[in-house]
Amino acid sequence: MSLTQFSEPASRPLAEQHVLVIRLSAMGDVAIMAPVLNALLKQHPQLSVTLLTLAKWAPIFAAIPRLKTVPVETKGIHKGIIGLWRLSQSLKKEGFIAIADLHGVLRSRLLCFFLSLSGHKSARIDKGRAEKKALTRLENKIFKPLKHSSIRYGEVFAKLGFPITLDPSTVLSKPPKKPETTGADQSNFTTIGVAPFAAHKGKQYPLDLMIQALEIFSRLAGKDQKEIRFVFFGGGPVETPKIKALCKQFPHSSHGLSLSFEQELQVIAHLDFMVAMDSGNAHLAAMYAVPTLTLWGNTHPYAGFAPVFQTEKNHLLSDRITYPGLPTSVFGKEVPKGYEKVMESIAPAAVAEKMSALLREASAD
């Protein structure tokens, strides 16, 4: 991602510089936001942020100074209109005078409305819905790169009078290694994260092809001076037995099934590189500047959700010559007839070759 300046000015910065930021989900979108908030607070040292998000995402932001997370319980006390009203009243004590709505959904809009009754200024993300619809429709498609989500986030802060510059220096600092989490001594290994699953079928590379790719890569990497160690990420009743089987198949491998989210972040931050779908784990790795290879099916980086600061060479795309309607979806939910197997157009050998290139780069550092 090139250096980007957000400079849409407000009349002047707010007098009391404390902002409420709203972004509840999903994990990938929250992870993309992290370097943006890091840049915001580094470049505006007079500013503090209260972040309203799900409690489980709080570890992502633990090391960012002057940022406080406030958990929202969308299925509990903050559910429905009454719950959001209750939340708005409790938030007032935080002392902010402006709101950055980075979610732009009905829930966040209603919350902003309740807070506006007390005079709070707000700015809302422009999600570019019409552009994304034009990018993903099968007929009269407009195939061009759209704004990255991090840019859209930055524009919200510019509207409030806090322009920011995003570049690779704004990634998060890596948490310290802890032997009980990352292993006592991994100096003799090249550690590669593999997140072989995705939330939607339109983003899922067939597992048998991923296994083939890892086998080919392991053979290609056999001459390297360090042994390869895969760490597999995923969870849930469907993915868990598959991850355990992968660990048995590949020597020295491990998984994150028994780790807390905080511990998982520690492992991800210290990977040599990550291989993932268009999924949350890719964004978690990228926010720590971990080289990240992503495989794309019915979605596409042009929609603005590529991992931050990753070069285009780290994107492996399904074949648009065979499947000219790609992308068919922003999030991978929509899979038109005839597009169920688009990811099979990515050859395992191509995945292995890209992994080998990342390995050479990791070995050179």
| Each residue's pLDDT tens digit, 52-107 | 999 999 999 999 999 999 999 999 999 999 999 999 999 999 999 899 999 999 99
Give the residue-averaged pLDDT of 28-53. Answer: 97
Residue 13 has pLDDT above 60, yes or no: no
Per-chain mean pLDDT for the chain: 92
CA 328 to each of CA 142, 148, 223, 255, 294: distance values in angstroms, whole numbers, following the listed order: 12, 18, 41, 32, 18
At 181, the pLDDT band (50, 70, 90 cuts) reads: low
- The model's confidence at residue 160, banded by pLDDT at 50, 70 and 90, is very high
Q: Is the pLDDT reported for residue 15 higher than 80?
A: no
For residue 275, give the nearest of 303, 326, 310, 241 by alpha carbon: 310
Res 186: pLDDT: 63
Question: In this structure, are strands 67-71 and 254-255 parallel, antiparallel, or unpaired?
Answer: unpaired
Q: Using one digit for the tens of pLDDT, what is the confidence trace for 219-235?
A: 988 765 578 999 999 98
**Dihedral Cα 257, 259, 263, 265, nearest 10 deg:** 20
Report CA Rg, the chain.
Answer: 21
Strand order in the sheet with 18-22: 67-71, 48-53, 18-22, 98-101, 121-124
The DSSP line for 219-230 is HHGGGSSSEEEE
pLDDT of 8 over the 50 cut: no
Res 259: pLDDT: 94
What is d(CA 120, CA 107) in angstroms, rounded to the nearest whole number?
17
Q: What is the mean pLDDT of residues 259-267?
A: 95
**CA 146, 152, 158 angle in degrees (round to 5)?**
140
Q: From 301, 298, 299, 297, select the one nearest 286 (Cα to Cα).
A: 301
User: By C-alpha distance, which of 258, 246, 304, 278 is closest to 125?
Assistant: 304
What the chain holds in terms of domains, given with CATH numbers, is 4-170 (3.40.50.2000), 179-364 (3.40.50.2000)
Q: At 184, list the tokens.
A: 């006592």
* Choice between 13 and 115, residue whose per-residue pLDDT is larger: 115
